[in-house]
Structure 1
Amino acid sequence: MSPDHTTHTDHTDHTAHTSKIVGIVWGLLVLNTLGSAGAQTIIPLPRSLIQMVTMGALVAAFALALAVNLRLRIRASAFVFLLTLLLVPSVISSANLESGYGALFRCTRLALFVGTLWLLSRWWDGGLTFVRHHIRMYFAVLGSVAVGLVISPGAAMPELYGGRLVGALWPLTPPQIGQYAAVIIGLTVLLVVGRRTDRAGAAVVIVPSLVLLALTHTRTATLGLLIGLALAISSLVLTSAAARRFFAWTVLCATVAAVGFGSAVQAWFLRGQSQEYFTSLTGREKVWDALLAAPRTTSEQLFGMGLGDKSFGGLPIDNSWLAVYHEQGLTGTAIVAAVIIVLGGVALLRPPSLSRACAIFLISYCGIASYTEAGLGDASPYLLHLALAASLLAAPVAATHLPTPAAPGRRVPRWARKSEVT
């Protein structure tokens, strides 16, 4: 075996090993953002233990990302830069300790989360590698939900949540499960449309995820999935015959469902609630009105009250924009708005491609969910979805080839040997 072939083999093995570690880091970030509050599990898990696992996952993710990127090579990213700026109002408001020492803990968590994204940005090249990591990890999370449903249907669909599906092995709420299912369904559908995966393999992901989504009765996730997919596939219609066929069949099926199963669909969306309760967003508006009416100092208006548990008066805020305003003030709200605007603007400027379509789906989904779900201002699955969108919109790295092997008896120039990258 020639020395050049040995070098090429070592380079390939090193690249594959690094790719696996990067995938593990992404999986640990997913684990960190699962949260610690939710339904009662079959085996009671102390919240302190869950927080130890999730925070330990974040520390491990940062350490592994640093280990594979010791030279601190990063790519310019407006998305991660804006998240770094978001730390400023978070720290300023949390330093007052109005939300307790937990606010400083959450600031530390957000800083580690952003730092890990900076370290991973080196591998953001507009490819679909991180999409596959995203799908695999969230499918594993949904697998744990399915196992809990099989083991204990009563615990998985408790009366406390109106018979909606929850996590019986890990404390996950119906909106969380619905979000994870909707996101991986949308991404997998786009991979099928882009012919980057086979239909049989996609069905293994899509079908059970659809069942779990239906059992959660999560309206936000369902609307986010449908609208996000419509926008994403529309971006491919002019350049992809498969996208045109899928769009046509989807419109046809949606029309048939609306005509033939309209009453059943309406009953599923209402979840047994009155029309008035449904239009008031299940009582969320009362919390929102109280939050906006609460007196605030100029400092609290600018920088917020400090990172908390996304609640006001003991009730969940359930709106990303109001949660950010409450915890990080108008400054934080402006930064989060800039994140969405920048990602959306870049997506519109990119030429049609599968990566762009996936990014449009993720941005659209997060934008829609932000109205009834909190999470855009702190380390959360929503920020991880947007980070994935940022990786998809990154400009491809210029291809760097290994030097052409020299002819027998001819020495490879020193400049050529140094051009190899690791």
Structure 2
Amino acid sequence: MGGDLTRGGLPGGLHTAVTQPGTAPRPAGTPKLVGIVWGLLVLNTLGSAGAKTIIPLPRSLIQLVTMGALVAAFALALALNVRLRVRLSAFLFLLTLLLVSSVLSSALLESGFGALFRCVRLALFVSTLWLLSRWWDGGPTFVRHHIRMYFAVLGSVAAGLVVSPGAAMPDLYGGRLVGALWPLTPPQIGQYAAVIVGLTVLLVLGRRTDRASAAVVIVPSLVLLALTHTRTATLGLFIGLALAIGSLILTSAAARRFFTWAVVCATVAAVAFSSALQTWFLRGQSQENFSNLTGRAKVWDALLAAPRTTTEQLFGVGLGDKSFGGLPIDNSWLAVYNEQGLVGIALVAAIILVLGGVALLRPPSLPRACAIFLIGYCAIASYTEAGLGDASPYLLHLTVAASLLAAPAAVAPVPTPEVPRRHIPRWARRSEVT
């Protein structure tokens, strides 16, 4: 990516109720291996189900790679933080409670032994985040890692498009862009593109990267987002950016200029290209299909109408593959209700509310704006995408938001050596007495 996206960082100074400073002494900089750990977590959350790839990859092989990446991430994070210095975090505490709730619901084995395996995966995921919390300092370190890793993923998507356009835009997905080298679905690609575009735009407004470096990320990512025809990611990008830039308007002239030009360009585009935009937005669907959210509403109604015991209502049926009756649920709240029950919904809602509340109470700043964008995007996407209750990119987005809202760790004071009294000049002794 080059440029300032890989250099420097914001000074600390944010104080937050989500993390408490002073839990551990501040490490001397963030090790470069932390970026590798983050990349392994990203690889783990890419999933194993998607479009057919150019070179057929057995699902068992993909699962071996993704699970191996998680184990390697945990081992490397443990090696970097062998003294287990972590930061007190309400976000990670609530995530740990969600893990406990998931174990309780999965122990009944209503979803089979696969539920326990998913609990082990979630436990490793959460443990790795706890180990990485030592390097949360309110700066953009994890934002840069996030952009770099997902830009690399999008690079593989672009490479697949160049190598085999037919495989990258198959008729099975209505000509929408998929991963031809790694099995990625259009919503996944759209999500990754939207998130790194939003974060990069905010870094430009905060003057933490130059425009040329940002254009290398933003332009191809927007092209890939358009090719996926993903409405949720597009709306999440625009609404999330509007919320984030709105938080900077009072303190940033660059944000005010960008917001003004964005409104003008959006108005002109809506008038001049209304027909093309409507065609892109509908994706050739009928009004009936569009109104029931491409069939999602039927699955949601069936899930809510299914009979449940009191235990299933409270704790769910255990971690599964986010489907009901063989069809994807595609809603984070209903997926959590199905697998982790009302307790899980309460914990996930608490995570969003705590992060959002802390972000709103912080003074305007670039880290706060990035956190608001990520929280807003996840909240919007939760309506048509699942993932808030399990190891997923959405939890990684929220983790980055939590790291941005963290206060800098307290620096241990350097003790001043005591000078023997006989070495103190007589004039200094007199001044001590007076």
Query: Is the structural similarity TM-score above 0.5?
Result: yes
Instruction: Determine if the alignment matches structure 1 residue 344 to structure 2 residue 356.
Output: yes
What is the letter of the counterpart of residue 192 of structure 1?
V
Choose the corresponding residue for 1:132, options 134, 144, 149: 144
Q: Is the CA contact 1:99–1:306 (under 8 Å) kept in the aligned structure 2?
A: yes
Choose the corresponding residue for 1:30, options 20, 42, 46: 42
Aligned to 1:161: 173
Deviations 1:349-397 (CA, angstroms, capped at 9, x unpaired): 1110000000000000000000000000000000000000000001122
SS in 1 for 2:56: coil
Deviations 1:277-326 (CA, angstroms, capped at 9, x unpaired): 11211111000000000000111001001100000000000000000000
Instruction: Determine if the alignment matches structure 1 residue 59 to structure 2 residue 65.
Output: no
Aligned to 1:115: 127
Choose the corresponding residue for 2:389, options 364, 370, 377: 377
Choose the corresponding residue for 1:213, options 205, 225, 236: 225
For 1:247-258, list aligned pairs within 5 A. Answer: 247-258=259-270
Hey, what's the Cα distance between the residues in 1 that align with 2:365 and 2:55? 45
- After TM superposition, the runs of 4+ consecutive aligned structure 1 residues lying more than 3 A away are 398-405
Instruction: Determine if the alignment matches structure 1 residue 367 to structure 2 residue 379.
Output: yes
Q: Is the CA contact 1:142–1:177 (under 8 Å) kept in the aligned structure 2?
A: yes
Hey, what's the Cα distance between the residues in 2 that align with 1:20 and 1:228? 29
Aligned to 2:8: none
What is the letter of the counterpart of residue 256 of structure 1?
V
In structure 2, the CA distance between the partners of 1:260 and 1:328, relative to structure 1 (3 Å rule), is same
Instruction: Determine if the alignment matches structure 1 residue 185 to structure 2 residue 200.
Output: no
Instruction: Determine if the alignment matches structure 1 residue 79 to structure 2 residue 91.
Output: yes
What is the letter of the counterpart of residue 244 of structure 2?
A
Hey, what's the Cα distance between the residues in 2 that align with 1:237 and 1:304? 43
Choose the corresponding residue for 2:278, options 248, 266, 289: 266
SS in 2 for 1:163: coil
Deviations 1:318-338 (CA, angstroms, capped at 9, x unpaired): 000000000000000100000
SS in 1 for 2:32: helix
C-alpha displacement at 1:398, in angstroms? 3.4
Hey, what's the Cα distance between the residues in 2 that align with 1:36 and 1:211? 24
Moved more, 18-27 or 112-121: 18-27
C-alpha displacement at 1:54, in angstroms? 0.5
For 1:297-308, list aligned pairs within 5 A. Answer: 297-308=309-320
SS in 2 for 1:295: coil
Choose the corresponding residue for 1:150, options 138, 155, 162: 162
Choose the corresponding residue for 1:225, options 227, 237, 240: 237
Deviations 1:145-184 (CA, angstroms, capped at 9, x unpaired): 0000000000000000000000000000000000000000
Aligned to 1:47: 59
What is the letter of the counterpart of residue 77 of structure 2?
A
Aligned to 2:302: 290
Hey, what's the Cα distance between the residues in 2 that align with 1:314 and 1:370? 20
Choose the corresponding residue for 1:21, options 26, 33, 51: 33
Hey, what's the Cα distance between the residues in 2 that align with 1:253 and 1:327? 43
What is the letter of the counterpart of residue 383 of structure 1?
L
Aligned to 2:101: 89
C-alpha displacement at 1:404, in angstroms? 9.9
Hey, what's the Cα distance between the residues in 2 that align with 1:280 and 1:47? 31
Hey, what's the Cα distance between the residues in 1 that align with 2:223 and 2:48? 24
What is the letter of the counterpart of residue 343 of structure 1?
L
Q: Which one scores higher on RCO, CA 8 angstroms, separation ≥ 6? A: 2
C-alpha displacement at 1:98, in angstroms? 1.3
Q: Is the CA contact 1:89–1:304 (under 8 Å) kept in the aligned structure 2?
A: no
Structure 1 unaligned runs (5+)? Answer: 1-13, 406-422
Hey, what's the Cα distance between the residues in 1 that align with 2:232 and 2:412? 44
C-alpha displacement at 1:403, in angstroms? 8.3
Aligned to 1:353: 365
Could you state the TM-score of these two structures normalised by the residue count of structure 2? 0.89
C-alpha displacement at 1:227, in angstroms? 0.1
Hey, what's the Cα distance between the residues in 2 that align with 1:402 and 1:177? 49
C-alpha displacement at 1:401, in angstroms? 7.7
Hey, what's the Cα distance between the residues in 2 that align with 1:273 and 1:285? 15
Choose the corresponding residue for 2:249, options 237, 255, 274: 237
For 1:304-323, list aligned pairs within 5 A. Answer: 304-323=316-335
Aligned to 1:200: 212
Hey, what's the Cα distance between the residues in 2 that align with 1:387 and 1:37? 24
Identity %: 85
C-alpha displacement at 1:126, in angstroms? 0.5
What is the letter of the counterpart of residue 208 of structure 2?
R
Hey, what's the Cα distance between the residues in 2 that align with 1:248 and 1:272? 32
Hey, what's the Cα distance between the residues in 1 that align with 2:150 and 2:112? 32
Aligned to 2:342: 330
RMSD of equivalent CA atoms: 1.6
Aligned to 1:4: none
